[in-house]
Amino acid sequence: MARSSCDRRGVLGALGLRLVGLAGLCAIGCDSMSFTPPRPPELSGLPSATRPSVEAAALGMRSIDVILAPRGGEDIEYLKTAARVQAGLDKVRARIVEVPGAGPELSDWRARAEMIDQVAAENPLAIVIEAPAASIPELSKAAAAARGRGVVIVALGRSLDAEADKSAESEPESKSASTAREIVVAPEPFAWSAEVLVADAIRNAENGKLDPQNGALLFINSTSDPLAQDRADALREALKSQGIETIEELRFAGPDGGGREKLVEHLKAHPKITMVFATDFVGINIADKLTEELKDAHPYVIAGYSADETHARNQTLTGQYAAVGVYSADRLLRKGINAAAVAAGRGAEVPDRVEVRVVMHESNRDAALPKAAVKEEEAEPIGPNSAPENAKAKTKATIELKD
């Protein structure tokens, strides 16, 4: 398969492949996302398939309602498909809540807070909420109010309870015994994966006779998901810990946000940069494609995060990327729906925090600069006896995402 283009056709192609993967999971019916902590002794005699509360709720048409962060329409449609697949595996009803007037450019989350109030009044099984990049008081208060009505809140990415906790310090009696739980479903700390990404990029740069001290660029798609800046911050700290002092940021807004043009312009204006770190698939794909155009004038090493694990594996095996951490919002959403379904049936079995692993793929220790002119279908792993470090996915998560 040829390396994906960074234009919209390439991005849409990747989206299609991801949809095929989800459809395959649905057809197989394999509960690969199942949250399966040890069963308590008092339930050990029940069949594993017995989930009375969830089944009864499903028959009553109560749903797990999902409120997503602002993003483009294509990404919303993909996440809707992911939600339907996971709901089918968990035998529950999931609904992506439409927020009137809330497009991808919406910076004010008050409309989403209002929808939480409306949804909570319908007595859902749970509400899954994708948390914003920074705390929004109105959103936190709406989530706290829903919990006060007995609705379980599953927060994706980070807790929504920050503002509620502050108010609780002055009004400890405001929380009643009937207040429902908040379950946080989040990726394992990005500091762990960022450390690997930076170390491998430095190694590949040195193998390619480039000086890592010349500088690194953080290439950030600001519209990808609310945790994009968290990944950028983790990369920045990892670079600093390795003694890299020249660290720059370049932002763009999605596939149509002029990312390619901005990156070309920036690299031409800063010819000493030797490492480019992207925070998502769109960014890493742009950096990848540009190596063909800039390889003679400005060689650089590529590393970062991507939602496309197949692409990440192929590109690290051939040395095109130094390393890739696989992070995708759809995995977080699916794990959130799974946790909500289990909590609705056997709430005590779900911990307050569930972590989703960031799978790492690394190039061979002898890899150097990207082989820009070699297409994936023509490329071979580096060396006949090489042992790529990515042969075994690395993770430090205490609770694994089974996929």
pLDDT in tens, 48-83: 333 333 444 444 579 999 999 988 778 889 999 999
pLDDT value at residue 71 = 82
pLDDT value at residue 177 = 59
Least confident span in 199-208, 291-300, 342-351: 342-351
Distances (CA, A) of 243 to 199, 215, 239, 283, 340: 11, 10, 7, 25, 43
pLDDT in tens, 314-367: 999 999 999 999 999 999 999 999 999 999 876 558 999 999 999 999 999 999
pLDDT value at residue 290 = 93
pLDDT value at residue 389 = 47
Of 353, 348, 384, 381, nearest to 367 by C-alpha is 381
How close are the terminal C-alpha atoms of the chain, in Å? 23
Distance CA 278, CA 321 (A): 11
**Six-digit token string for 390:** 């990515």
pLDDT value at residue 398 = 35
User: What are the structural domains, with CATH classification, of the chain?
Assistant: 29-38+51-188+331-356 (3.40.50.2300), 190-329+357-391 (3.40.50.2300)
Res. 190 pLDDT band, cuts 50 70 90 = very high
> In the predicted model, is pLDDT for residue 137 greater than 90?
yes
Of 261, 258, 249, 264, nearest to 295 by C-alpha is 264
Please state, rounded to an integer, the average pLDDT across all residues of the chain: 79
| More confidently predicted of 90 and 373 | 90
> In the predicted model, is pLDDT for residue 103 greater than 80?
no
> In the predicted model, is pLDDT for residue 100 greater than 90?
no
Distance CA 208, CA 206 (A): 5
> In the predicted model, is pLDDT for residue 374 greater than 80?
no
> In the predicted model, is pLDDT for residue 378 greater than 50?
no
Which residues have C-beta within 8 Å of that of residue 134, sequence separation ≥ 6?
A: none
**Six-digit token string for 148:** 């006060």
% of the chain surpassing 90 pLDDT: 61
Specify the amino acid at residue 345: G
Q: Span 113-117, mean pLDDT?
A: 94
Of 159, 162, 156, nearest to 185 by C-alpha is 156
pLDDT value at residue 248 = 97
> In the predicted model, is pLDDT for residue 15 greater than 70?
no
| More confidently predicted of 130 and 374 | 130
β partners of residue 276? 217, 302
pLDDT value at residue 119 = 96
> In the predicted model, is pLDDT for residue 105 greater than 70?
no
| More confidently predicted of 70 and 106 | 70
Tokens 């690997």, located at residue? 196
